[in-house]
Structure 1
Amino acid sequence: MEKLRCIVLDDEPIGREIIENFVKEIDFLELVDSFEDPVKALMFLENNNNVDLIFSDIQMPKINGLDLVKSLEKPPVIIFITAHRDFALDGFETGATDYLVKPVRFDRFLKAVNKAKDYIELKQKSTVHQVNSDRIFIKSDGKLTKILLDEILYVEAQGDYLKIVIQNETYTTLATLKSMDEVLTLPKFFRVQRSFIINLEAIRSLSGNMVELVNGKSISIALNKKEELFQLLGIR
């Protein structure tokens, strides 16, 4: 595997220097650039699509790390850095692979980058192939199977695999939920929490923080996703 090209983003010079030095200690990481200003980092990312990994602080002036990632059309793999554990859940909801709490220890840093490396390798081996806007082929049970996107009720992440549920069948394939995020897009599909993407047309009912689909499957809605889901469904 080629080196993972990464950038560091932190408005605090000491915190930024620590991560830069850690990156230089890992033989499969290559430091492409380092930024104090999140706006400059955003401009760099919008003009460079060869970054594999971002180490980003969350609390920063002008734009925080969470909003920066959300603004990217196809963000690289993210490892957030924060002084507050309370931000961890929000970080994971943006699709972050891991988060590090300041002061960052090298052993914890190494664990996070190994996790990111495994994730990127898995994504490169993904068995989901989009052939046009309305269908995909997946490798399941030793064969390529065509799935029409309109037939998908929901997709569930299960470790290194995805469970894809359509109206009458269920398939399991090696892939990441993030790779399916690029295929199953709004306004038809919505990621209601870390592990599930649902077909909005498959919703039967809503109760509290739970959504029930037409096949009887009940799925919890992340608190920070509920308002957006209701807006998409036209519920005021």
Structure 2
Amino acid sequence: MLRALIVDDERLARQAMRRLLAAHPTIEIVGEAETLDEAIAAIERTEPQLVFLDIELGNRGDGFDLLAKLERPPLIVFVTAYAEYAVDAFTVNAVDYLLKPVLPERLAESLVRVEQHMIRIVAASGQKVQGMIALRTPKQTVLTAPSEIAALRADGDFTHVFVADHPTVMILRTLGHFESLLPSPPFLRLGRSLIINRDRLRKIEAPSRAGARIVLQGIKAPFELGRAAAARLRELVSPDEV
């Protein structure tokens, strides 16, 4: 999920953008703002990865003033009724510039540009940026937030990454690489071959000390744990957490 904030001084315009974004399940709208001050506070509070930003924000400043006040601004897509600001928008590294009224197909195109832009950032600076991780294979790159990763399983020099409600991605990286990349907690290493996301743990079935079976939110098949991994899980997770 890509966390997005809508900044526009017109309530109807914010509502229209919400309706358009509802067709894109990969976008999570984390808030709205009407003025410059509200936008600054909302960005600090919600930490969006993407902002749909109007240029006119009332008497106390505009969208360009907002960017000037942010030390590390998120990705920006300008949404405005004024075509004459387009050159200035790309000067401040906006990903895209949408003219109102925004057409659904134009928004879809813009979201593709946002994803491609994030992939380029990740490729240039490492595996993690702005709260997202790029899972690269020879055929595709999957951008995901760490919270969407349910588990990781080692397979030699490869790692199977289990992303919630998504086909498993096989990456030419060791499990140790991901262990250093992902926050602990909630990611817990249960042995040489498995890391799970504790926040996605929904059920533990342990009929004996010989092992256990766990169910993770967003993953259909349960994970079978051996004796050592089951014991490690019991050490790290209390019963009232599940």
Check the 8 A contact 2:32/2:42 in 1, yes or no: no
The question of 1:28 aligning with 2:29 is answered no
Aligned to 2:75: 77
The question of 1:107 aligning with 2:115 is answered no
Deviation at 1:46, TM superposition (A): 3.1
Check the 8 A contact 2:50/2:77 in 1, yes or no: yes
Check the 8 A contact 1:9/1:56 in 2, yes or no: yes
CA offset digits 1:28-70 (Å, max 9, x no partner): 111000112221111222344x311000100121110111012
Structure 2 CA distance for aligned equivalents of residues 103 and 125 of structure 1? 34
Aligned to 1:234: none
* Alignment equivalent of 1:58, drawn from 30, 55, 79: 55
CA offset digits 1:100-152 (Å, max 9, x no partner): 011111111111111011111221222579xxxxxxxxxxxxxxxxxxxxxxx
Following superposition, which runs of at least 4 residues in structure 1 exceed 4 angstroms of deviation? none
Structure 1 CA distance for aligned equivalents of residues 23 and 118 of structure 2? 20
Deviation at 1:23, TM superposition (A): 1.6
**2:97 partner SS:** strand
Which aligned pairs between 1:17-166 and structure 2 lie closer than 5 A?
17-48=15-46, 50-61=47-58, 62-127=60-125
Structure 2 CA distance for aligned equivalents of residues 128 and 21 of structure 1? 34
CA offset digits 1:63-85 (Å, max 9, x no partner): 10111012110000000011111
Aligned to 2:199: none
Check the 8 A contact 2:34/2:57 in 1, yes or no: no
Which aligned pairs between 1:172-211 and structure 2 lie closer than 5 A?
none
Which aligned pairs between 1:3-14 and structure 2 lie closer than 5 A?
3-14=1-12
Check the 8 A contact 1:56/1:79 in 2, yes or no: yes
Aligned to 1:178: none
Q: Which runs of 5+ in 1 are unaligned?
A: 130-236
Residue identity (%): 29
CA offset digits 1:133-183 (Å, max 9, x no partner): xxxxxxxxxxxxxxxxxxxxxxxxxxxxxxxxxxxxxxxxxxxxxxxxxxx
**1:60 partner SS:** coil
Check the 8 A contact 1:46/1:72 in 2, yes or no: no
Deviation at 1:98, TM superposition (A): 0.5
Q: Which runs of 5+ in 2 are unaligned?
A: 128-242
**1:69 partner SS:** helix
Structure 2 CA distance for aligned equivalents of residues 46 and 7 of structure 1? 11
Give the superposed CA RMSD: 1.7
Structure 1 CA distance for aligned equivalents of residues 45 and 108 of structure 2? 28
Structure 2 CA distance for aligned equivalents of residues 103 and 116 of structure 1? 20
TM-score by length of 2: 0.49
Check the 8 A contact 1:57/1:80 in 2, yes or no: yes
